[in-house]
A and B are shown apart, each in its own frame.
Chain A
């Protein structure tokens, strides 16, 4: 998606589908590898917060197969979804990760991705 946003400082927003906005936030900040992380997603459309969606975050490293690292996010209400996970450290020194957010609302499935470096 290529949005210029720094997950170390703020939540990052994207358009999941026409009229459907999504933001991803990772805490604690700065985002570090090998620590317990909390992923928070907010989902909204023209009518306000969207609940009842199935949300998952797949973490991968561009150009390096790292296996499936998926966090399933649970709905908190008011369009918020939260899950926990860990980003492993690559001993090669590479720090760039990609988070693919998979969202399913009813029959509609959307996918957006975020690129970020870990400390």
Chain B
């Protein structure tokens, strides 16, 4: 197995192209909310949050790819995951609504989204302001389950490998390919959020709330089609 196999190259390039052409539309608001939520602790904390969110998301993609490869069937695995994915839409929508309200100054979450397990705390000691940023690792892990047509396509390819390692690698490379677009969306939100903080920061929060409500609506639509 070599990384220059056409399937692996297609996965990383598909993630790269799809990241800017597809993922920004669906996940851009989420990653923008992540960076805005942490930006009170500075730009570095905002970008660290985006990085941890991406790590979580790519890890979940990899696990899903490995499961698809091991099962050798996309339909069987997604059939079992459908209700969890539906829940992921609701949860992501609800989280975005809460973060949006927090960003808009209408609700103080003050770290309630953080996961403060011992391992997190230990790891946190090695970073500057890590705890808020690290809170987005489990969020990324969870939101990696969001139903997405583009990621489905690469899961189909992962299942086609009929091999857990290769399937996991396909989805890992796909996820890696989407990181530049997702990071750009987060950075853009930070840029806008910082430069216009005094006037438009709250408006950004309202947009995040609306995006969260949109995700919940999509969850209802997805549920209706299960």
| Interface positions of A (Cβ within 8 A of B) | 34-36, 61, 64-69, 85-86, 88-93
Main secondary structure of the interface of B (DSSP, over half): helix
- B75–A89 CB distance below 8 A: no
A88 to B222, CA, bound (A): 13
Q: Which single member of A34, A35, A66, A85 contacts B150 (CB below 8 Å)?
A: A66
Max count, chain A CB within 10 A of own CB: residue among B10, B154, B156, B157 = B156
Question: In whole Å, how far is A65's beta carbon from the nearest beta carbon of chain B?
Answer: 4
- B149–A90 CB distance below 8 A: yes
- A92–B153 CB distance below 8 A: no
- Contact of A34 with B149 at beta-carbon distance under 8 Å, contacts A65-B17, A65-B21, A68-B10 already known: no
Q: A34-B78, A91-B218, A91-B221 given. 18 additional CB < 8 A pairs?
A: A34-B75, A34-B152, A35-B75, A64-B149, A65-B21, A65-B22, A66-B149, A66-B153, A67-B10, A67-B18, A67-B154, A68-B14, A69-B156, A88-B149, A89-B147, A91-B148, A92-B218, A93-B221
Residue of A nearest to B153 (CB): A67
Mark contacts of B84-104 with chain A using CB atoms, 8 A cut-off: 1 yes-contact digit, 0 otherwise. Answer: 000001000000000000000
B10: A residues at CB distance < 8 A: 67-68
A69 to B151, CA, bound (A): 11
Question: In whole Å, how far is A92's beta carbon from the nearest beta carbon of chain B?
Answer: 7
Asked if B225 lies at the interface with its beta carbon under 8 angstroms from chain A, I say yes
- Contact of A66 with B156 at beta-carbon distance under 8 Å, contacts A36-B75, A89-B225 already known: no
A35: B residues at CB distance < 8 A: 75
**Residues 15 to 48 of chain B near chain A (Cβ within 8 Å):** 17-18, 21-22, 26
A89 to B89, CA, bound (A): 15
Asked if B74 lies at the interface with its beta carbon under 8 angstroms from chain A, I say yes
B157: A residues at CB distance < 8 A: 68
Residue of A nearest to B221 (CB): A93
Q: Which single member of A61, A64, A67, A91 contacts B147 (CB below 8 Å)?
A: A91
User: 21 pairs across A/B with beta carbons < 8 Å?
Assistant: A34-B152, A36-B73, A36-B75, A64-B22, A65-B18, A65-B22, A65-B150, A66-B18, A66-B22, A66-B150, A67-B14, A67-B18, A67-B154, A68-B157, A69-B153, A69-B156, A88-B149, A88-B153, A89-B225, A91-B147, A91-B222
A86: B residues at CB distance < 8 A: 74-75, 156
A93 to B225, CA, bound (A): 9
- B153–A68 CB distance below 8 A: yes
A75 to B75, CA, bound (A): 25
A61: B residues at CB distance < 8 A: 149
